[in-house]
Structure 1
Amino acid sequence: MRAIDLLNGRLKLRHLVLVVAIADEGSVLRAAEHLRLAQPAVTRSLREVEHVLGVDLFTRGPRGMTPTLFGEVFVEHARAVLAELRRAGERISGLADGEVGTVTIGTLLAGSNVLLPRAIAALKKARPGITVIVQEATFDAQVPRLLEGEIDLILGRLNPIGDLHGLRQLTLYAEPVRLVARHDHPARSRPDLTLRDLLDYPWVLPIEQTALRQELEQLFRAEGLALPSNLVECTSILTVRTLVHDAGMIAALPELVARTDAGLAPLPVPLEAVRRQVGVTLPDRRPLTPSARLMLDHLRTQAAELTAQTG
């Protein structure tokens, strides 16, 4: 198969939709139900696209349809094409009336409990027809979806992007990370509290794949300390709060998270080495949709107000 063969009209948009559906659903039957098509039609269309490409895209096993190496590559590109078409439709619609559209935000812990709700509320007040989708995951998990166009921006603590191409970052405000515990935690009674003293108590820390966890590990190493032996790894803010409240654990949380929870208070052990910048990670070469631009404008406005209130 030559690359030009994909542009001769034999490969249809419905083929892309179908292949992505099979990959997502894991079977032809579930893909047919999802697309509201007859199963024989889905099977026939899959054979058509495999014939056009000249390769098998899926293998059938006891657990359903599994993409082959060729299938994984084709599905990745199919998702990107469909995402771009969705964005094209939204841009046209947004340019027409500026009242409808969808913005999808990938969120990390920092910024998600105060900044993001305020910005969403302001956006919905100004443009009630815009749908806002918020999806929480680690930065590493969000980046591929951002590059593929499945999400519009990532909000949270700015992670180093290193040699990741196609990304740019905007700083919105600075927010320290604090070690927090409940008000009656026994560590508060210890004089001249240090990080070493806190190792006597249970902790809840972010999972290893997060930048905050890596920075905390570096902080412990710089102090000549190992990580707490009594440890839970978690990124869910609701679970972290419950463990701090009910199980007496110590956690490292953005200051605004702790400040908005009356049951928590910072411990007098600074984390000066941990980065403070909260902002957005954006695609470098792909323009934002009108809805995403409006969301970014409200994020900037609300971040400025938070800075004024906390400064």
Structure 2
Amino acid sequence: METRNLKYFLAIADAGSVTRAADTLGVAQPALSQALTRMERDLGVKLFTRTRRGAALTPAGQAIVEDVRLSVARIDAASHRAREIGAQRGGRLTVGFASAALFDVLPRAIAALREAVPDVQLALREMSNAEQAVALERGEIDLGLLHTPVTVGGRMREKLIVRERLIAVLPTSFQVAQDGRVTLRELAERGLVWFPQDQLPVIRAGILSAFRQAGCEADIVQDANRSLTVLACVAAGCGVSLLPQSVRTLQFAGVRLCEVSDGDALPSFELSAIWPHRSRPALADRFAALIVPRGPD
């Protein structure tokens, strides 16, 4: 079905009249009527009831009008994006990102993109890992900055940006040893504030396994779905936590950060870029190429 006919359908639905729709579109009324007839013939249903007062949507027309409106909007957006990128003038890029990307990776990546593509229209959406995976599969974001390993359906590209060690996040009232370090057993005694099970299940399992290897069990006493929320909960005395080394770039009242003396078994905290694999380079490919990977901390 031609996009033009879909737009004709929407114009008639919005105007409530073939005549008024033809005037708005600047096309001849007979041509518009013929296009509508072809569309109804293709679908095998009547979309409008036509009277002297105009044209009213039938139940079948009402059932599809919003879907058609969304489809046309997406087609128009895709066409505009293709023209802009083809002309190297910029384009629109929607990036999802986990909270940890805010500390260092995202600011550097945005600066590099704006220098390389000055007219880029950048939309940023802070999202959990699980939310980004779904958004990538649905095409709602062009690229995700999220923690790996993670499962994303469809053909995707992946680029590891940084692999960090975990450090302890403690309330300022927490008494640490003279060397400024804390043990896993000391952390286990206070309980952990961490991300929900559906967000980072592999890392969560690795953390709990490290505690068991140290001869103690740790309980997740408070779920928090963003890094800043984790910090707030620790500051409030809900428990302690483990976050990537890059959290040191923040100054958050009520918390202190320190190394874990027996934390060798703790999993690394990876941040990667994931984006759809396309037959031709897209703006997401260019953005990913501009992100400079960082060595392990």
Shorter-chain TM-score above 0.5 = yes
Within the candidate set 89, 92, 107, 2:80 is matched to: 89
| CA distance in structure 2 between the partners assigned to 1:192 and 1:126 by the alignment | 43
How many residue pairs get aligned? The number is: 254
The one-letter amino acid paired with 1:272 is: A
**What does 1:1-311 correspond to in 2, within 5 Å?**
7=1, 12=6, 52=43, 83=74, 85-96=76-87, 98-161=88-151, 164-186=153-175, 188=177, 193-211=182-200, 213-221=201-209, 223=212, 226-228=217-219, 231-247=221-237, 249-261=239-251, 264-268=256-260, 269-270=262-263, 272-285=265-278, 287-290=280-283, 292-299=284-291, 301=292, 303=293, 306-307=294-295
The TM-score normalised by the length of structure 1 is 0.64
Q: Deviations over 1:65-113 (max 9, x none)?
A: xxxxxx89x96x98688546523321211222x3332111111233332
Q: What do the CA deviations read for 1:16-54 (whole angstroms, capped 9, x no partner)? A: 99xxxxxxxxxxxxxx9xxxx57x79xxxxxx9999386
Where 2:190 maps in the other structure, the secondary structure is coil
How far the C-alpha of 1:201 sits from its partner, in A, is 1.6
Shift of 1:248: 6.4
Give structure 1 regions of 4+ aligned residues with deviation exceeding 6 angstroms: 8-11, 14-17, 48-51, 77-81, 189-192
User: CA RMSD for the aligned pairs?
Assistant: 4.2
Structure 2 regions of 5+ residues with no counterpart?
A: 18-35, 46-62
Return the alpha-carbon distance in structure 1 between the equivalents of residues 9 and 175 of structure 2. Answer: 62
Q: Which amino acid aligns with 2:168?
A: L
Residues 248 and 233 from structure 1, CA distance in 2 versus in 1: closer, same or farther, beyond 3 angstroms? closer
Query: Residues 237 and 102 (structure 1 numbering): CA distance in 2 closer, same or farther, change over 3 Å?
Result: same
Give 2:203's aligned amino acid: E
- The residue that corresponds to 1:44 in the other structure is none
Alignment CA distance shift 1:155-1:15 (3 Å):
farther
Gaps of 5+ in 1: 1-6, 18-31, 42-47, 55-70
Is 1:175–1:277's contact at 8 Å kept on the other side of the alignment? yes
- TM superposition score normalised by structure 2: 0.66
Residue identity over aligned pairs, in percent, reads 20
Asked if the contact 1:188–1:267 (Cα under 8 Å) also holds between the matched residues in 2, the reply is no
